[in-house]
Amino acid sequence: MYANKDDLARFFATMPEMIPTYERLEQRINEICGEQVDVRVQKSQIAFFDKHGFTWASLPIRRRKGWPEKCLVVTFGLEYRKESPRIAVAVEPYPHRWTHHVLAQTPDAIDDELMAWIEESHRFSLAKRRRT
């Protein structure tokens, strides 16, 4: 599924140059996870769901020191902490629920490595479905 263009224009009103990066992310998620994935454009994030959320895209509201001025924050969840210099922040809000944030400045940042992590997050989300 693809997000509504009007919703995207509103979401990216403060940083329209990030739309091509987001569109690349959405395209790759549809290719890897299937077009049955639900895309929800919300006030502060765009969420990708297959019953449970597995990937989110947002704009940095408060830029941290060392972060680029303009980027798309791509967030995904796993049951363990993924180690990589590309991961800007990783937190464990619940036991065995790690949230990872990657900063994507260009469409090229939506590469095979990031998509492998998102595919793993999608599988983790589907496994949660079986446990609940």
Q: How many domains does the chain have?
A: 1
Report pLDDT digits (tens) over 57-90. 999 977 677 788 899 999 999 999 999 999 999 9
Does any domain span residue 131? no
User: What is the rounded distance in angstroms from the CA atom of residue 48 to the CA atom of residue 51?
Assistant: 9
- The answer to the question of residue 33 being in a domain is yes
Residues 87-105: tens digit of each pLDDT: 999 999 989 899 999 999 9
Does a structural domain hold residue 98?
A: yes
72 in any annotated domain: yes
- Give, as one character, the DSSP assignment of residue 130: H
* In-domain check, residue 130: no
* Structural domain contains residue 129: no
Whether the pTM exceeds 0.75: the reply is: yes
Sheet holding 38-41, edge to edge: 38-41, 46-50, 52-58, 72-78, 97-104, 87-94
